[in-house]
Chains A and B, each alone.
Chain A
Amino acid sequence: MLNVFKTKLSAATIVLIPACIGINYLGKLIASVLKLPLWLDSIGTCIGGCLGGPIIGAICGALNNLIYGLTTGDNITLIYALTSLGIGLVVGILARLGFMETFPKSLICAVGGGLAAVVISTPLNILFWGGTTGNVWGDALFTLTQAQGMSVAFGSFLDELVVDVPDKLLTVVIVYLLLKGAPQKLTSLYDVNAEVERLD
């Protein structure tokens, strides 16, 4: 049986984690250079989840936010370590179940990752900021729902939904295209079910 959580802790996976954290940072940077209204800060986490499996994805996500929180002083990021962990875990599980094999399936994987982010972020948003996310479009929607008299939880859920799901869709599409183009000598490093054949 295919074990979803099987993880190889070889030097290759250990090296993958900092690379993924770097990619996360780069994604965020490029999104801000191009002034895109999305975060794109989980490309690395998704790559980690797809290549290394759910456990590596989760470690990438959590460490990513912990490192940035503790070095750049951006402790707003720190709180969302849980969200990143969830994204890495869900995308990793779905990738292992074969949801990154074709393009339409990868979209399901993206929605899964996006929903994981929404479900984990919403309580954190309500707890720490009273429901806002800091994204202009999402917060405008939140204000609208509050003015209509809807509950804070529902407003905050919508706020997070309209931001996170498109963000993760674009992220996973990028990851899908990248991994399709990746050379096999790279992807085979992370194949947990690979058998090493000895010639002697």
Chain B
Amino acid sequence: MSDFSLYVNKGTWLNKMHPYTKLLYILAAICIPVIGGKLWLFPVMILCSICLLACGRTLRRALPLVAFSFTLIIVIFLIQGLFNHANETILFSIGILTFYKEGLLYATRIGLNILNMLLSFAVFVLTTSPMELVDELEKSGFSPKFGYIINSVFQIIPQMMKSKDTIMDAQRSRGMETEGKLWVRVKALFPMISPVVMSSLVNTRERAIALEVRGFGRKNKKTFLYERPKHKGDRAIGVFLVLMIIAVTVWRIVSCL
């Protein structure tokens, strides 16, 4: 497994949970505030995700993911706070910039939604091995070809990175400039990208022949190398999450009537 995936096995109960249960958690975390329509539901779900991340001992690894989204959130706050069409009530002003209540409220909603989605995905991504997810998908009826595609992405990318580094060094030693004005950098693009892409395309031919020789296209039933131990909590948590989504939906419908 490469360092391309963010997953680390810490041996906590979150690692042992079924991937589907964690996917259901993402669905619930995103649906509940959106269906519920109340602003306070976002912080509740965000707190929930943070607690889960802490349980999985991956809170620190989630930080860079969140930090990445902050620039986006700040841009949204600036644009909506200053220029939203519904802006009427002035909240405060810094110099010539005037921030309005309506725009900021809208930005808060979007910002919280982004944070909520990011954190709930982090719970899944940081505690689930992609290999395990693919295995489970195949067991529940996805085509093994599909499984092959996903697993081989994880093998191909580190290979391509290596050949990219080699080619970049080779081209630089021939005098290609990779720094400087925009035009210089644009010119460097093609000599860098074409050898890597070409070699990986040519490799596909050999890979295809190798696979066909090993009976890749056979239609008979495939067996699995790993048996995953069942976790007791999967069912209970799954039922609870589905009930929560139904409860919120009912609550919204009732409050609308």
Contact = CB atoms under 8 A, between A and B. Distances in A.
Contact of B200 (A19, A130, A185): A19
A12 B65 contact: no
Interface in A140-170: 142-143, 146-147, 149, 151-152, 170
A17 to B, nearest CB: 5
A130 B204 contact: no
A183 B72 contact: no
Contacts of B153: 18, 21-22, 67
A194 interface: no
Q: Which of B76, B164, B212, B217 counts the most A-chain CB atoms under 10 A from its CB? A: B76
A186 B205 CA distance: 7
A40 B188 CA distance: 14
B86 to A, nearest CB: 10
A10 to B, nearest CB: 7
A33 B168 CA distance: 11
A143 B83 contact: yes
Contact of B194 (A10, A16, A134, A177): A177
Contacts of B85: 149, 151-152
A68 B134 CA distance: 14
A11 B148 CA distance: 11
B65 A73 contact: yes
B125 A70 contact: yes
Nearest to B30: A75
A151 B82 CA distance: 15
A15 B185 contact: no
Contacts of A97: none
Q: Which of A30, A36, A71 counts the most B-chain CB atoms under 10 A from its CB? A: A71
B201 A73 contact: no
Nearest to A70: B125
B208 A26 contact: no
A147 B189 CA distance: 36
Given A75-B118, A129-B110, A183-B202, A30 B189 contact: yes
B211 interface: yes
A181 interface: yes
Contact of A70 (B84, B124, B159, B202): B124
A78 to B, nearest CB: 8
A174 interface: yes
Contacts of B186: 34, 36
Q: Which of B68, B106, B110 counts the most A-chain CB atoms under 10 A from its CB? A: B110
Nearest to B212: A11
Nearest to A9: B145
Contact of A75 (B121, B126, B148, B190): B121
Q: Which of B80, B168, B203 counts the most A-chain CB atoms under 10 A from its CB? A: B80
Contacts of B124: 70
A71 B65 CA distance: 12
A63 B189 contact: no
Nearest to B64: A73
B27 to A, nearest CB: 13
Contacts of A186: 201-202, 204-205
B75 interface: yes
Contacts of A170: 189
A70 B130 contact: yes
Interface string B199-222: 011111101110110001100000
A130 B198 contact: no
A11 B217 contact: yes
A14 B143 CA distance: 12
25 contacts: A11-B212, A12-B204, A12-B205, A12-B208, A15-B207, A18-B150, A19-B156, A19-B203, A22-B153, A26-B164, A29-B161, A34-B188, A36-B185, A72-B125, A75-B118, A128-B114, A130-B79, A130-B107, A130-B110, A139-B79, A146-B79, A174-B189, A181-B194, A186-B205, A189-B208
